[in-house]
Structure 1
Amino acid sequence: MLDLSPLWISLKVALPATIFTFVLGICAARTVVKLKHGQAVIDGLFTLPLVLPPTVVGFFLLLAFGKNSLVGQFFSQFGFSFIFSWQGAVIASTVVSFPLMYRTVRGAFEQINPEYLYAARTLGMTERKIFRKIMLPLAWPGILAGTILSFARALGEFGATIMIAGNIPGKTQTMSVAVYTAVQAGDRESAFLWVMIIVCFSFVMMLAMNFWTSFQVRLIRQKGAAK
């Protein structure tokens, strides 16, 4: 009988990672869009995990959250360690999926007609209110697309996860790690089942994003025709 714990661990890791990515990605995108200088440098730093090999990202996470790091030493006082824990897997998934959310949301913010923002400022709206009342609603399709992509990426993360969280069955073994373990053990049936589960999850999420995008395009066209 197939042990389903990797599925539940993957969801347990991907859901909080997506929430963190959602908040951090929107905040980072808003900050970079408002910058007048240094955009290229900061954008490069935020996008770096997307182009680095996952094992390299995992190595940096080990340096940042390992037992000898400042963060690791602080939490060790409370008897907690991010290494070989599902919380470490959450950190890894957040880092590798963050660039997808950031880039998608930044693109959505940059497509907003600046005249809307100028008009709002002229009417005396604060920047916080402009962001909440104008930018977020107009960029919402991009935000949703970024969220779906981030969740799919977090669900399938392997390299950085195995570096910081390891491969502990029932504790840190996600679906991607379970595929690797099954292949190493010569259990191709289990590997195939996990691969199909991951493919189905990813396909359903991409399908939902495509349907949402098509719906938004039809809605915009209908509004344009009505005018």
Structure 2
Amino acid sequence: MPVSASRDPLDPAVSVRDRRPRRERSAAAAGPGVDVGLPRWLWLPAALGGVFVLLPLVAMVVRIHWADFPALITSHESVEALTLSLKTAVAAVVICLVLGIPMAVVLARTDFRGQSLLRSLVLLPLVLPPVVSGMALLYTFGRRGLLGHTLDVLGLSLSFTTAAVVMAQSFVALPFLVISLEGALRSAGRRYDVVAATLGARPTTVFWRVTIPLVLPGLLSGAVLAFARCLGEFGATITFAGSLEGTTRTMPIQIYLYNAGSDPDSAVALSIVLVVVAVLVIGVARVGRSAL
């Protein structure tokens, strides 16, 4: 009988799979149903992280006087602030979609000089302190700003208006949509776009009929992240738009004023409402993404 020669593990002809430990090769051969397991030490930091996130929320729930909760959240100031926050957040997300989808597609599907720098600038609001973002908007669109003076001559005053709230929210939330959608576009690849183009579809048709449906879950995730960021925006809004009741005083600003004043109970109650709204938004997004 011919004797088979032993294969050198350093031989480049040996596949990566053959070089893995025997236990890993057995698990891979057994199929995806095999539970590889996790290192036991991971559970401790994971549990600590969960406690770190949930404990402050529990502290707020324990702090509130539930008998007074309905009256606290239905006051005129609270309802007005929540309504303004929801309206401006929806408007800001629409702006993020209109501007962010083309930006993400250009960054993901093209290659040009300075692309890395452009991506860094687009994502800059992610790391900027919100107050700095507000100051940048103020010195751009304020009455004495770079463009604000021209707009003021034309009769368009943006600072300290509801439009300023929408602009501030859009500025800080836009990168969340861009980075989520760009990642989805890169993961999807271009093979289906190429097939559609080969069959004679125009670029606009490929974009709406092929590209967008493929990355719809990623687009939904980005829109939800942007909406949640808009709801929680404080620093840029109060710097650029101020705190005018019924005009620019959003929910976070109202919570801050309550907490800084003599009504911490109302601040806690509104904080819980904001948490509930955020949880509902995330839940609806997860359901919608699963359906897609």
The answer to whether the superposition gives a TM-score over 0.5 is yes
Which of 167, 176, 180 is the equivalent residue of 1:91?
167
> What is the CA–CA distance in structure 1 between the aligned matches of 2:115 and 2:209, rounded to whole Å?
25
- Residue 192 of structure 2 aligns with which residue? 116
CA distances 1:106-159 after superposition (whole Å, capped 9, x unpaired): 111112132212222222322222111110111111111111111111111101
> What is the CA–CA distance in structure 2 between the aligned matches of 1:128 and 1:85, rounded to whole Å?
37
> What is the CA–CA distance in structure 2 between the aligned matches of 1:19 and 1:213, rounded to whole Å?
19
Which of 170, 185, 191 is the equivalent residue of 2:267?
191
Which of 49, 71, 74 is the equivalent residue of 2:150?
74
CA distances 1:52-108 after superposition (whole Å, capped 9, x unpaired): 110111111111111112421222124332111111010000010001111111111
- Residue 225 of structure 1 aligns with which residue? none
Within 5 Å, which residues of 2 pair with 1:36-185? 36-37=111-112, 38-185=114-261
Q: Secondary structure at the match of 1:76?
A: helix
- Identity of paired residues, percent? 34
Range moving further from structure 2, 36-45 or 193-202:
36-45
> What is the CA–CA distance in structure 1 between the aligned matches of 2:107 and 2:155, rounded to whole Å?
37
TM-score of the superposition, structure 1-length normalised? 0.90
- 1:39, CA displacement in angstroms? 2.5
Range moving further from structure 2, 92-101 or 139-148:
139-148
Query: What letter matches 2:217 in structure 1?
Result: P
> What is the CA–CA distance in structure 2 between the aligned matches of 1:28 and 1:89, rounded to whole Å?
22
Which of 102, 114, 130 is the equivalent residue of 1:27?
102
> What is the CA–CA distance in structure 2 between the aligned matches of 1:124 and 1:86, rounded to whole Å?
46
Within 5 Å, which residues of 2 pair with 1:208-223? 208-216=284-292
Report how many residues are paired. Answer: 216
CA distances 1:8-43 after superposition (whole Å, capped 9, x unpaired): 111221111010011111010011122212321111
Q: Secondary structure at the match of 2:158?
A: coil
> What is the CA–CA distance in structure 2 between the aligned matches of 1:109 and 1:166, rounded to whole Å?
37
Q: Secondary structure at the match of 2:147?
A: helix
TM-score of the superposition, structure 2-length normalised? 0.71
Unmatched 5+ stretches in structure 1: 217-227
Q: Secondary structure at the match of 2:123?
A: helix
Unmatched 5+ stretches in structure 2: 1-70
Higher helix share: 1
- Residue 220 of structure 1 aligns with which residue? none
Query: What letter matches 1:5 in structure 2?
Result: E
> What is the CA–CA distance in structure 2 between the aligned matches of 1:206 and 1:12, rounded to whole Å?
18
Query: What letter matches 1:202 in structure 2?
Result: A
Structure number with bigger Rg: 2
> What is the CA–CA distance in structure 1 between the aligned matches of 2:241 and 2:163, rounded to whole Å?
8
Indicate whether 1:15 and 2:90 are aligned. Answer: yes
